[in-house]
Amino acid sequence: MANPWFESVAEAQRRAKKRLPKGVYGALVAGSERGLTLEDNLAAFAELGFSPHTAGLANERNMGVTVMGQQVSMPVLISPTGVQAVHPDGEVAVARAAAARGIAMGLSSFASKPIEEVVAANPQTFFQMYWVGTREEMLARMERARNAGAVGMIATLDWSFAYGRDWGSPFIPEKIDFEAARRYAPQVLVKPRWLLDFARTGKIPDLTVPNMVATPGEQPPTFFGAYGMWMQSPMPTWEDVAWLREQWDGPFMLKGVMRVDDAKRAVDAGVTAISVSNHGGNNLDGTPASIRALPSVAERSATRSRCCSTAASAAAATSPRPSPWAPRP
In terms of C-beta density within 10 A (0-12 exposed, 13-18 middle, 19 or more buried), how is residue 112 classed?
Answer: buried
Is residue 163 within 8 A of residue 169, CB to CB? The reply is yes
Measured distance CA(173)–CA(183) in Å, rounded: 10
Amino acid at 323: S
HSE-CB at 34 with a 13 A cutoff on CA atoms is: 6
Q: Which of 82, 148, 78, 90 is nearest to 111 (CA)?
A: 82
**φ, ψ for residue 68 (rounded to 5)?**
50, 45
Measured distance CA(255)–CA(258) in Å, rounded: 9
Give Cα 152 to chain centroid, integer Å.
14
- Name the catalytic one among 87, 141, 255, 279: 279
- Please tell me the total number of residues recorded for the chain in this structure: 329
In the residue annotation, 87 being an active-site residue is answered as: no
Residues with a known catalytic role? 279
